[in-house]
Structure 1
Amino acid sequence: MTDDHTQVQEFFGARAAHWDSRFAGDGPRYEAAVAAMGLPPGGAVLDAGCGTGRALPYLRAAVGASGTVLGADLTQEMLDEAVRAGRDRHALLLRTDVARLPLGTGVLDGVFAAGLIAHLPEPEGNLRELARTVRPGGLLALFHPVGRAALAARQGRRITEDDLRAEPRLRPLLADAGWRLLSYVDEDSRFLALAAREEPHARP
């Protein structure tokens, strides 16, 4: 296991027990972000870096009882909290690295990822792995329940030019990983970038 993985596990493991209570009001924003994906009934979707599983009930509602919902996270304590909250009723939970998913190629209709991109050790390669699992035309939703400026203020820092979520950086990063940015919203109440999986070899 890499140092990056260990740091992520230590960070989230120490905060897992109080995560939901700390961010208790975020549910409607998660619901709206999932709705924006327009997932098909009966479809298959992955919550990559699902944490305590706050998106899982909304993902299940979107694809229905006949659909497939997977929640993947590297931190066992987060998955334990998801089970404690009963969210394992909505999805199959996997303790796995989203950079090496135990999934076939093109099997998903979409990937939902809340707060994930900031914790990816190799963003382009990791986003390419997510693209591998999604059918052409399927969607990626990069979400955060507050925007970049609000998050930076919460953390006592300034937004820097190397912020991966800045549109001028995110658009080419996604394109190099096999995604086409469709829409980009960065406001105080949410960050949501929607991207479509490109056809293989569609780009020059």
Structure 2
Amino acid sequence: MSDDHTRVRDFFSARAADWDNRFPDDGPAYRAAASELGLRPGGRVLDAGCGTGRALPALREVVGPQGAVLGIDLTPAMLEAATRAGRGREGQLLLGDVTRLPLRDGALDAVFGAGLISHLPDPAANLRELRRVVRPGGTLALFHPIGRAALAARQGRQITEDDLRAETNLRPLLSGAGWHLTSYVDEDARFLALAVRQD
């Protein structure tokens, strides 16, 4: 396991047991974001870096009982918390690495990543891997239930110019990885960047 992977796993392992209690009111924001993925009943979607699976119920609502919902995370403790919360009933939980997904090319209609991009060890390469598993014209959603400024304030820091989630940084990063940014919202109540897989 790389140093980046160890750092991410250690960070989330220490927080897994209390993660959902820290953010109890995020459900509506997840539902709103999931509804914008363009998924239909029977669709196939991955929650990349799913953590405790908070997005899984919202994704299941969109694709319905015939759809496929997968959640993959690097941290066993987060997946255990997801299972305890009953979210394994909403989708299949997998221990794995979003930088090397155990999925065939074009297997999915969409990828949802909540808080994901700041934890990717090589964002350009990792976004290409997410592209690989999405069908042509499929969607990527990079989401956070609060915007960049609100998140920085919560963490007691300032937003810097090199923030990957800034539109001026994110647009070319996505483009270089084969995605076209179609929508960008960064407001106090949420961050949501939607992109479509380009061929």
What TM-score comes out, normalization by structure 1 length? 0.97
**Counterpart for residue 143 of structure 2:** 143
- Letter matched to residue 50 of structure 1: C
Q: Distance in 1 between matches of 2:82 and 2:141?
A: 21
User: Distance between the aligned counterparts of 1:30 and 1:164, measured in 2?
Assistant: 21
Report the equivalent of 1:183: 183
CA deviation map 1:176-199 (0-9, x unaligned):
001000000000000000000112
Please report the RMSD computed on the Cα atoms of aligned residues, expressed in angstroms.
Answer: 0.5
Amino acid at match of 2:16: A
- For residues 40 and 141 of structure 1, the distance between their equivalents in structure 2, rounded to whole angstroms, comes to 15
The one-letter code of the counterpart of 2:127 is L
Taking the aligned partners of 1:166 and 1:128, their CA distance within structure 2 comes to 19
- In the TM superposition, 1:38-187 aligns within 5 A as 38-187=38-187
Aligned residue pairs, count: 199
SS in 1 for 2:71: strand
Aligned partner of 1:202 in structure 2 is: none
Separation (CA, whole Å) in 2 of partners of 1:114 and 1:76: 17
Q: Deviations over 1:9-66 (max 9, x none)?
A: 1100000000001100111000000001121110100000000000001111111111
In structure 1, runs of 5+ residues without a counterpart are 200-204
Q: SS in structure 1 opposite 2:53?
A: coil
What are the Cα deviations for residues 124-180 of structure 1, in whole angstroms up to 9, with x where unaligned? 000000000000110000000000000001111110011000000000000000100
Tell me if 1:2 matches 2:6: no
How much identity, in percent, do the aligned residues show? 70
What is the CA–CA distance in structure 2 between the aligned matches of 1:194 and 1:179, rounded to whole Å? 9
Which consecutive residues of structure 2, in runs of 5 or more, have no partner in the other structure?
Answer: none
Provide the C-alpha distance between the structure 2 equivalents of 1:161 and 1:62, rounded to a whole number of angstroms.
Answer: 35
1:31 — aligned with what?
A: 31
1:29 partner amino acid: A
After superposing on structure 2, the runs of 4+ consecutive aligned residues of structure 1 that deviate more than 4 Å are: none
In structure 2, C-alpha distance between the alignment counterparts of 1:116 and 1:34, rounded to whole Å: 15
TM-score (norm 2): 0.99
CA distance in 2: counterparts of 1:147 and 1:183, whole angstroms? 14
